[in-house]
Amino acid sequence: MSGPLRGVLVADFSRILAGPYATMLLADLGADVVKVEAPGGDDTRGWRPPVRDDVSTYYLAVNRNKRSLVLDLTEPGDLTLAHRLADRADVLIQNFRPGALRRFGLDHDTVTARNARLVYASISGFGAAGGADLPGYDLMVQAAAGLMSLTGDADGPPYKAGVAVFDVIAGLHAAVGILAALRHREETGRGQHVTVDLLSSALSGLVNHTSAYVAGGAAPHRMGNAHPSIVPYEPLPTADGELVVIAGNDGQFRTLCRVLGVPELADDARFRRNADRTAHRDELRPLLVAALSRRGSAEWFALLRAVGVPCSPINSVAEGVALAQGLGLEPVVAAGGVPGIRNPIGLSEAPPRYDLPPPGLDEHGAELRAWLAAE
């Protein structure tokens, strides 16, 4: 194996999304990730449709570059192998309910008493204190953290995001924490306990909205596709559809008005500065819509892109992948013949690798059991 994490052994006791996403990122960067699964396998193996060759595409999304080993922790022989894996690992990551691994001797304190160099990462939904009993499903966290209160029309019901966004953010946080702990181990020789919970990741991921509350005392609320602090920053109708239009600063707004054929709006006292536009958004929007109605979305996109005004058509997922391909971002890679979305991290000297397809259940069980059984 190659990559900047070559030689790092990761014992991956996590399942579903946040943990497997984190370990796939590490595996792409060269870590040897052993995916430990219960006899029934990772839950996402059964989350279907859609499928590819009768394998859940959900599972395929976050499990490339790993080796699968099935262990039944209630069976003494398998538990011994799990202990041996933990003793040899550089990193152990798990997302069991807080405290659940203690009865197997796989909790942080027990494992690190034997392997002091281990970086032990725990992912939970709501932490290991007052929220230890709450299961960590992304939809619960979207509701609990406030994201759903921000998503949807102002006078409509709350909506979830279209993807398990906080699982992904928590996975990223876990990967960053693990890398920081490995760097610390280089200096001290000792590992440490990396803890990530979805609720804390969510509150961090809500960035300007949580800041509005804790720093400004403001109460964010649903605004549909509008932005609380920037105008325009939303989809606007054109002659044949909608186009996302953004004026992130006053210069961009002036250019937007010129291209739309309404340069006078940029000098209107109601709209001259962003703060003015925010205060008078209900007056500005219909004026922009009227100007945009003269051409179609594709034509406006070309015109505005040419002068540096941020804008975008509202694509399907297929169109989004095609756009990235057309821009030279090479979004699709094949790991062992199985297509997936590439690791978004670019490294000039040691780029991510795509050696192994997402493993079948216990695909590497024989070789891993033999290795763990050997003294």
Catalytic residues: 167
Counting other chains too, the contacts that 271-280 makes at CB distance below 8 Å and 24 or more residues apart are: 274/229, 274/230, 274/231, 274/247, 274/249, 274/250, 277/231, 277/232, 277/247, 277/253, 278/228, 278/229, 278/230, 278/231
CB atoms within 10 A of CB 345: 11
Q: Token match 């100007």: residue? A: 291
Helix (H) or strand (E) holding 10: strand 9-13
Name the burial class of residue 72, with classes exposed (0-12), middle (13-18) and buried (19+) by CB atoms within 10 angstroms of its CB: middle
Tokens 């609380």 -> residue: 228
Residue 113: how many CB atoms within 10 A of its CB? 10
CA distances from 181 to 51, 110, 189 (A): 36, 19, 11
Residues with Cβ < 8 Å from 177, sequence gap 6 or more? 121, 194, 195, 196
Which stretches of 57-113 are assigned E, i.e. beta strand?
66-70, 91-94
CA dist., res. 3 & res. 135, Å (int): 35
CA distance 371 to 375: 8
Element holding 5 (H helix, E strand)? none
Token duo for residue 165 = 């966004």
